[in-house]
Amino acid sequence: SDHFGRCRYFMVAEVSDGKIQNSRLIDNPHNDDERENVGHGLVLKLLTDNRVKKVFCVNMGPRMEENLRSLGIDTERCGSGSSIGSLLH
């Protein structure tokens, strides 16, 4: 999805020395929620539980960006279709 909160999955990657060591896809918790895409709490918990330190996305609302930064999670915008490898260099 072109919007952070509406994506179907989050890719969580462990990066060391600019290289992906391990990665996995995690379902967006709002996919199964009847109030789809309402509130940030479930996504913020998912990201903090998985010790995410940085989020790359095409688009994100200012409240979510502020919420992430308040938790020490950096954000960076990227182009639609960007490869993970290109984002790490």
* pLDDT tens per residue, range 21-41: 999 999 988 776 555 555 688
**Number of domains into which the chain is organized:** 1
Structural domain span for residue 35: 4-88
pTM given for the model: 0.77
Strand 9-16 to 74-77 pairing: unpaired
Output the furthest CA–CA distance in the chain (Å, rounded). Answer: 40
Distance from C-alpha of 63 to C-alpha of 85, rounded to nearest angstrom: 28
Going residue by residue through the chain, which has 89 residues, state the pLDDT in tens, using 9 for 90 and above.
666 877 888 999 999 988 889 999 999 887 765 555 556 888 999 999 999 999 998 889 999 999 999 999 999 988 888 887 787 76
pLDDT of residue 34: 59
On whether the CB atoms of residues 48 and 71 are closer than 8 A, the answer is: yes
Q: Which amino acid is at 43?
A: V
The CATH number of residue 83's host domain is 3.30.420.130
Which pairs count as long-range contacts for 26-29, CB under 8 Å and 24+ apart, including other chains? Answer: 26/50
Which residues are within 8 A (CB) of 10 and not within 5 positions of it... i.e. 6 or more apart?
Answer: 25, 26, 28, 46, 47
pLDDT of residue 37: 53
